Structure 1
Amino acid sequence: MLEELLTAAAATGSAGAVYLSAAARVVKQYERGVVFRLGRLHGEVRRPGFTLIVPAVDRMRKVNMQIVTMPVPAQEGITRDNVTVRVDAVVYFKVVDAAAAVVNVEDYRFAVSQMAQTSLRSIIGKSELDDLLSDREKLNQGLELMIDSPAVGWGVQIDRVEIKDVSLPDTMKRSMARQAEADRERRARVINADAELQASRKLAEAAQQMADTPSALQLRLLQTVVAVAAEKNSTLVLPFPVELLRFLERAQQQIPPGTTRDTRDTRDTKEQSTGP
């Protein structure tokens, strides 16, 4: 009798161990468990840790709640200004409702991937080439909204969308290079012309100053001679400035005609002797 009881207890313990091993489940920290009982969603989503299900009746599907990094294959399209480009992107998303991600869509990863490709082609057709190259932040926001709208019903939240690269045809690259080179040359010419204008104004002011003071021209000439003679020992042939001749001519006109140096000295002596 005692042996039968021991045998029954052992059999019961073995059956319990088998049942427990079949019913036991462990949900990791970054996962959630969705339980189906006889094909229907049962109860709440199982939290991380140890949990039990009914063997042969319940089925539990684990859903990863981590952020998923999904590359979007390069899509070729024509921009609004008729330029053929290839654009690829990357989508960051995560599951926020595990039950909806399992029940409402067959494969939420594949669904997000297809929606991202379709939205990327739509963005290419609505944008111009300059926007794709320089205003990517605005395009990223628009692409995120286009993907996130249907993904809400799938229990998926789009965290971020980034356009990675924009590939242009070789002919377009050469055209853009020529345009940039022409623009730089234009700016260089404008800067050079502005410098010439400023220099001409300064030279005009200097010429006016020298015209008012003829001796300044002679001083400038002597400075030039010193600067040239300091570099090389050579014979210099300097032109005689016409302004200096005019200065001497005006000085000569101030002396009365027929008056010599001796006459002026005699006149000055007489005026001093006959003073008051």
Structure 2
Amino acid sequence: MEYLDYGFFVPLIALVLVFLWAAIKILREYERAVVFTLGRFTGVKGPGLILLIPFVQQIVRTDLRTVVLDVPTQDVISKDNVSVKVNAVVYFRVVDPESAIIQVENFIDATSELAQTTLRSVLGKHELDEMLSERDKLNEDLQEILDKQTDAWGIKVANVEIKHVDIDESMVRAIARQAEAERERRAKVINAEGEHQAAARLRDAALVLAEAPEAMQLRYLSTLNVLANEQNSSTIVFPFPIEFGDLFKITRSK
């Protein structure tokens, strides 16, 4: 009798455990369950404890946390026909679990492939200088395009960052020569602007001195004072205009 009772309860307990295992699911805070009843979508559940009809309902777990996707290095031909190697990183997350599971087979692989083709397409429309100097703008363009195309998959692309733009060694030397030539050009322009401003100031000073001979006299005297205070034994012959002597006479007579 005891043997019969023991043999009866063991299968029953096992059946109850299997039933509970199939009926009770626990989802973490960042997880959602896409529920299918006899193969048809019937809703999204979670987080926490959820109950299912065993063997009738199945779930697919979906992680809502941000995914950091490393885009492999891509060979890109820029608009000015320069070959570069570019890689990037994409930050995205699932905002609609239903679409992420039903609309695409594997949303991570699909997003990765789309990011690679978009990276080549967008950067190929820009010149090398823009890739190097306008990276923030390119990041925004890539993010906007990817976000629009993945919207049907229930995915939100939060950010795209271009990590590296690698170019040939010969191109690096060419860019260095170009930068050096640009610095020299700017230096010459600045020097020319300084000479122009100095010439304009000298012209203004000459006009003022021409209008007031007394100012010219004071300038001569000031120069003589500076030369007299210098610590040297050199003899300096300083021309003194005759008209200044007449000016002294006029001043004394007054």
What are the residue-to-residue correspondences of 1:177-216 with 2, within 5 Å?
177-211=176-210, 214=213, 216=215
Q: Deviations over 1:218-275 (max 9, x none)?
A: 543332232233231424222333x2x24557999x9xxxxxxxxxxxxxxxxxxxxx
Q: Which residue of structure 2 lines up, in the alignment, with residue 156 of structure 1?
A: 155
* 2:30 pairs with 1:30: yes
Whole-Å separation in 1 of the counterparts to 2:128 and 2:101: 39
Partner secondary structure for residue 157 of structure 1: strand
Whole-Å separation in 2 of the counterparts to 1:141 and 1:82: 23
Change (3 A) 1:121 1:206: closer
Q: Which residue of structure 1 lines up, in the alignment, with residue 42 of structure 2?
A: 43
Partner secondary structure for residue 171 of structure 1: helix
Change (3 A) 1:81 1:237: same
Partner secondary structure for residue 124 of structure 2: helix
Identity of aligned residues (%): 42
Instruction: Say if 1:23 and 1:54, in contact at 8 Å, map to a contact too.
Output: yes
Unaligned 5+ segments in structure 1 are: 255-276
Unaligned 5+ segments in structure 2 are: none
Q: Deviations over 1:39-96 (max 9, x none)?
A: x134211221111234444432211011212121121111111111222222121112
| 1:141 CA drift (Å) | 3.6
| 1:136 CA drift (Å) | 3.3
What are the residue-to-residue correspondences of 1:1-276 with 2, within 5 Å?
15-38=15-38, 40-211=39-210, 214=213, 216-241=215-240, 243=241, 245-248=242-245
Partner secondary structure for residue 117 of structure 2: helix
Instruction: Say if 2:78 and 2:84, in contact at 8 Å, map to a contact too.
Output: yes
RMSD: 3.3
Q: Which has the larger radius of gyration?
A: 1
Instruction: Say if 1:144 and 1:161, in contact at 8 Å, map to a contact too.
Output: yes
Whole-Å separation in 1 of the counterparts to 2:245 and 2:36: 117
Q: Deviations over 1:14-62 (max 9, x none)?
A: 6434522342210111111123345x13421122111123444443221
Change (3 A) 1:99 1:238: same
TM-score (norm 1): 0.74
Whole-Å separation in 2 of the counterparts to 1:57 and 1:91: 38
TM-score (norm 2): 0.80
Partner secondary structure for residue 50 of structure 1: strand
